[in-house]
A = this chain, B = another copy of it.
């Protein structure tokens, strides 16, 4: 996983699942995660775009799951937060005159893609419901 966003996203989703259909405010979510409400809203925006969450604006507003926790796999959550590819990625510009340097990015990309597929497959074995259920 690239980044801390996965943890935040999963934390949010778990809280929403636990809250059933009650709407939770970004302030409340931020309090459990211990980060800034604006960060929560940013992540919620992404989760909304991916169809996991829906939010209601205005007074008494907040967010809730847009579908059953059983229908959200951790692989999908991973994919919603992933940027670039798994391994950090090609900011390298190897020497094109070197037979290895010339082609290494292509081969690395293939390797990363194959590996990431397996990772997603593994994460997808678990649904949000499975994860959430671990919390009493």
Q: Is the CB of A94 within 8 A of B33?
A: yes
Copies per assembly:
2
Query: Which residue of the partner chain, among B1, B32, B112, B136, contacts A87 with CB atoms under 8 Å?
Result: B1
A91 to chain B, nearest CB (A): 7
Q: Do B34 and A93 have beta carbons less than 8 Å apart?
A: yes
Q: Does A58 contact B (CB under 8 A)?
A: no
Q: Report whether B122 and A11 are in contact in the complex, using a CB–CB cutoff of 8 Å.
A: no
Question: Contact at A31–B95, with CB atoms within 8 Å?
Answer: yes
Q: Is the CB of B118 within 8 A of A122?
A: yes
Other than A34-B93, A35-B92, give 12 A-B pairs with Cβ distance below 8 A: A1-B112, A7-B92, A10-B104, A11-B100, A31-B98, A32-B98, A34-B95, A100-B135, A107-B134, A111-B126, A111-B131, A118-B122
